[in-house]
Chains A and B, each alone.
Chain A
Amino acid sequence: MSVRSMVVTQFERVAVEQHRMLARLSDELRLLDSGLDSLSFALIVARLEDALGFDPFDVAEDVKFPVTFGDFVRLYDNHK
């Protein structure tokens, strides 16, 4: 399963769990408009860490939270 597929799966799973209406996931979708909140993202990142074995936010240097869904996927892709 590709990183993108895993990310998509977690977005969809968390949206259902959190009773949130998930927007269509495209690269240009701003996470602000995704329908998820900050805690949903914390949950997604924790789950992806379990699945992929790393957390791209666990770095010493400053890391900005991705703005779009595409940025989010790339953050994981680039970290592999």
Chain B
Amino acid sequence: MSSASSSRLSIAQARSPQGADCVPASGSRDAVYFGSGEHKLFGWLQSPPASQASNIGLVICKPYGYEALCSHRSLRVFEETASALGMPTLQFDYLGTGDSGEIDAQADQLNAWTQDVIAAVNELRRRTGVQQVCLLGVRLGALLAVLAAGECTTVTSLILIAPIISGRRYVRSLRTAQLAAASMSGGTVDDTDRTDSMESSGFLISAATLAALSQTDLKTRAPPTVPDVLVIDGNALPGASEWTQQLVTAGTRAKYLALPGLIEMIMTAPQFAQVPHEMVAASRDWLHQLLSGSMTRAARRIEAVSPTSSPSMLLRTGGDQPVLLTERPVFFGPERILFGILTEPRQGEIRRRAVVLLNAGADFHIGVNRMHVTLAREWANRGYVTLRMDLAGLGDSGTRPGQQDNEVFPVAALDDIRAAVELLRSSYGAVDVTLFGLCSGAYHALRAAAARVPVNRILMVNPQHYFWKEGTTLDDLQLAEVVHNPRLYPRRMLSGVAWKRLLGGKVNVLRIAKIYFYRPLLALESFFRDMARRLHIRLPNDLGWELEEIYKRGVRIVFVFASGEPGIDLLKLEGGASVKQLGDCFRIHIVEGGDHIFSQSGPRAIMKKIISDELFTRS
């Protein structure tokens, strides 16, 4: 490992995400691993300067699945806000989630994760010396916080954001999403699956967990024996008012607020997700009062443990011949603001092959459905060094001054990818480097290869853009929409209601007109680009020319699409005749039944096998 790499981010090094809510802290933020039973969990420890540290700490209990992906950057704002008040803060991934170790697929996640929360509380005490801990939980994390508080006397206060009160109702909402997803991809959910495990947005919930959740209802349980509780409901989907009243009746100092921002934080795609500023402010004010009332600021600190300088986690892979892999967090790049998790193959691997996994949209480095973690570990098991990274402004990377947060197509993405490739080449001696990406990650992989970043292979899943004009926003009309939507509109033109809506001004006529205007233009442009290419005239933004050039440099080019993805037609239109003329090292695969993020396990397994086979193929 290069000594230039580190897993610690000084708070001054990078701007926090949309960080208008908190006074910048001047402590440190460390990536850490800690034990929960025989397993290892990954987390982030925010440590205020010792002179300002309170002896009440905060452990953040995340929501699960897609909600955790969407809220990732927002939770960091909660974390930094608490740290700015002097509270040492630990945010962590439950077993089988995020960057933590894997969980047995049959395990009762509710029970395992409750124990993980308790392990996190103990770890925060061990590392920082805090004597009391407040748990801040969101949705399922709030339920876990309540369950853990019942088993852990160190927990003396709770902040519960949109807590799951009825596990049964939570399961029902996941079930509805699963039914809808299956229906929309042309599949069905077998009724026999009702008692089995469930996959929601690509995240698994075991049968044991479903059973445990169905039995869990906070209204029928004894209230947690915690003196101070703040409950913040989303005002667009409130559900915890009645239970909070139960707490008050039972003698708990419970405060209830219904505030905006929940949907925007946890149920809005990461690229559109927003920090719930009012919820952050309410939490800050409540914590401030808690700290003032406790008279514990700068209390005596017991033997505090400094974060290790080079945290890592050993992973034992399954199978007949288990292999020990090592994972380690790393900050890299010239400004040390880029974050990633390296997975190293077993000791003695000499093939020096590496893969960089790029963000899909604004999803942080675990990828959609946590796919980047499973792929990274599978590929490391096959001898590859893998780096799942966050571009600047995304996930756990810092945001450069002047750069927007959560920008899916940042202008400096190429520099970030170049830095990642350089890290793998210089620190691991990698001689064969592959870029992997889904959606915008695929776009960035292509752009990097076109810009001659030294890579040997690009594996691209469901790209929807091949060029991106600076200044464009995701809400602008995209070419993917141009090639996709014309199929829908002719049917609608025959409908009387459609005309009524049109005349009533409820239809974005300009957008539809643009779609119909651009589509033939695209076809015409494709024809002229082919002509120009034959005459060896290079036009700007010529995908066909770029693909030929990348191919000639010996880079293997692989596209994988879910059937019906607009990127397929767009590739044909923008790539023109070149797409058909390239040889064996240019591959296009179509997977039936998948959606844009391969949220269902069947099509996802097929896609992953294709990608892995293409990675292992020696050209």
- CB pair A46–B498 under 8 Å, yes or no, is no
A19 with B268, Cβ < 8 A, contacts A26-B495, A42-B177 known? yes
- CB pair B191–A24 under 8 Å, yes or no, is no
Q: Which residue of B lies closest to A29 (CB)?
A: B492
Q: Which residue of A lies closest to B201 (CB)?
A: A39
B532 at the A interface (CB under 8 A): no
- CB pair A17–B264 under 8 Å, yes or no, is yes
* Contacting residues of chain A (24-62) with chain B, CB-CB under 8 angstroms: 24, 26, 28, 31-33, 37-39, 41-43, 45-47, 50, 55, 57-58, 62
A63 at the B interface (CB under 8 A): yes
* Contacting residues of chain B (155-212) with chain A, CB-CB under 8 angstroms: 172-184, 188, 191, 201
- CB pair B182–A57 under 8 Å, yes or no, is no
- CB pair B184–A46 under 8 Å, yes or no, is no
A67 with B183, Cβ < 8 A, contacts A19-B268, A26-B498 known? yes
- CB pair B184–A57 under 8 Å, yes or no, is no
Select one of A24, A47, A62, A65 contacting B180, CB under 8 A. Answer: A65
- CB pair B263–A64 under 8 Å, yes or no, is no
- Expressed in whole angstroms, the minimum distance between the Cβ of B603 and any Cβ of chain A is 14
Tell me the bound Cα distance from A55 to B176 in angstroms: 10
B526 at the A interface (CB under 8 A): no
Tell me the bound Cα distance from A28 to B507 in angstroms: 18
- Expressed in whole angstroms, the minimum distance between the Cβ of A33 and any Cβ of chain B is 6
Chain B residue contacts of A43, Cβ below 8 A:
237, 263, 267
- CB pair A24–B201 under 8 Å, yes or no, is no
- CB pair B268–A17 under 8 Å, yes or no, is yes
B272 at the A interface (CB under 8 A): yes
Residue from the set A37, A39, A47, A67 with the largest chain B CB neighbour count within 10 Å: A39
- Expressed in whole angstroms, the minimum distance between the Cβ of A67 and any Cβ of chain B is 7
- CB pair B497–A38 under 8 Å, yes or no, is no
Chain A residue contacts of B239, Cβ below 8 A:
50
Chain B residue contacts of A9, Cβ below 8 A:
none
Tell me the bound Cα distance from A18 to B177 in angstroms: 15
Closest 6 pairs between A and B when the two form their complex, measured CB to CB: A38-B181, A65-B183, A42-B177, A38-B180, A41-B180, A62-B191
Main secondary structure of the interface of B (DSSP, over half): helix
A-B contact pairs, 20 of them (CB 8 A): A24-B495, A24-B501, A31-B184, A32-B183, A37-B181, A38-B178, A38-B201, A39-B177, A41-B176, A41-B180, A42-B176, A42-B177, A50-B237, A50-B239, A55-B172, A57-B179, A63-B179, A64-B188, A65-B183, A66-B183
Tell me the bound Cα distance from A57 to B178 in angstroms: 12
Residue from the set B178, B183, B269, B272 with the largest chain A CB neighbour count within 10 Å: B183
A65 with B182, Cβ < 8 A, contacts A17-B268, A24-B507 known? yes
- CB pair A39–B191 under 8 Å, yes or no, is no
Select one of A17, A24, A45 contacting B263, CB under 8 A. Answer: A17
- CB pair B488–A39 under 8 Å, yes or no, is no
Chain A residue contacts of B115, Cβ below 8 A:
none
Chain B residue contacts of A41, Cβ below 8 A:
176-177, 180
Give chain A's interface residues, CB within 8 Å of chain B. 17-19, 21, 23-24, 26, 28, 31-33, 37-39, 41-43, 45-47, 50, 55, 57-58, 62-67
Tell me the bound Cα distance from A46 to B178 in angstroms: 14
- Expressed in whole angstroms, the minimum distance between the Cβ of A18 and any Cβ of chain B is 6
- Expressed in whole angstroms, the minimum distance between the Cβ of B213 and any Cβ of chain A is 14
Tell me the bound Cα distance from A47 to B501 in angstroms: 25
Chain B interface size, under 10 / 10 to 19 / 20 to 34 / 35 or more = 35 or more
- CB pair A65–B267 under 8 Å, yes or no, is no
Tell me the bound Cα distance from A42 to B180 in angstroms: 8
Tell me the bound Cα distance from A16 to B498 in angstroms: 20
B320 at the A interface (CB under 8 A): no
Chain B residue contacts of A19, Cβ below 8 A:
268-269, 272, 474-475
Sample of 20 more A-B contacts, CB < 8 Å, known A23-B488, A62-B191 = A17-B264, A18-B268, A19-B475, A21-B508, A24-B492, A26-B497, A28-B495, A31-B183, A32-B183, A32-B184, A33-B488, A38-B180, A42-B173, A43-B237, A43-B263, A55-B172, A57-B175, A64-B188, A66-B183, A67-B183
- CB pair A64–B183 under 8 Å, yes or no, is yes
- CB pair A39–B267 under 8 Å, yes or no, is yes
Chain A residue contacts of B66, Cβ below 8 A:
39
- CB pair B183–A57 under 8 Å, yes or no, is no
Q: Which residue of A lies closest to B499 (CB)?
A: A24
- CB pair B179–A65 under 8 Å, yes or no, is yes
Chain A residue contacts of B474, Cβ below 8 A:
19
B128 at the A interface (CB under 8 A): no
B599 at the A interface (CB under 8 A): yes
- CB pair B173–A46 under 8 Å, yes or no, is yes
Chain A residue contacts of B181, Cβ below 8 A:
37-38
- CB pair A24–B497 under 8 Å, yes or no, is yes
Q: Which residue of A lies closest to B239 (CB)?
A: A50
Chain B residue contacts of A66, Cβ below 8 A:
183
* Contacting residues of chain B (227-271) with chain A, CB-CB under 8 angstroms: 236-237, 239, 263-264, 267-269
Tell me the bound Cα distance from A62 to B184 in angstroms: 17
Tell me the bound Cα distance from A28 to B495 in angstroms: 10
Q: Which residue of A lies closest to B188 (CB)?
A: A64
Chain A residue contacts of B495, Cβ below 8 A:
24, 26, 28
Chain B residue contacts of A65, Cβ below 8 A:
176, 179-180, 182-183
Tell me the bound Cα distance from A47 to B236 in angstroms: 9
Q: Which residue of B lies closest to A61 (CB)?
A: B191
Tell me the bound Cα distance from A63 to B176 in angstroms: 10
Q: Which residue of B lies closest to A18 (CB)?
A: B268
- Expressed in whole angstroms, the minimum distance between the Cβ of A7 and any Cβ of chain B is 14
Chain A residue contacts of B506, Cβ below 8 A:
24
Q: Which residue of B lies closest to A60 (CB)?
A: B194
- CB pair A46–B272 under 8 Å, yes or no, is no
- Expressed in whole angstroms, the minimum distance between the Cβ of A10 and any Cβ of chain B is 11
Tell me the bound Cα distance from A63 to B236 in angstroms: 27
Q: Which residue of A lies closest to B506 (CB)?
A: A24
Chain B residue contacts of A46, Cβ below 8 A:
173, 176, 237
Tell me the bound Cα distance from A14 to B201 in angstroms: 18
- Expressed in whole angstroms, the minimum distance between the Cβ of B568 and any Cβ of chain A is 18
Chain A residue contacts of B180, Cβ below 8 A:
31, 37-38, 41-42, 65
Chain A residue contacts of B172, Cβ below 8 A:
55, 57-58
Tell me the bound Cα distance from A47 to B262 in angstroms: 14
Q: Which residue of B lies closest to A55 (CB)?
A: B172
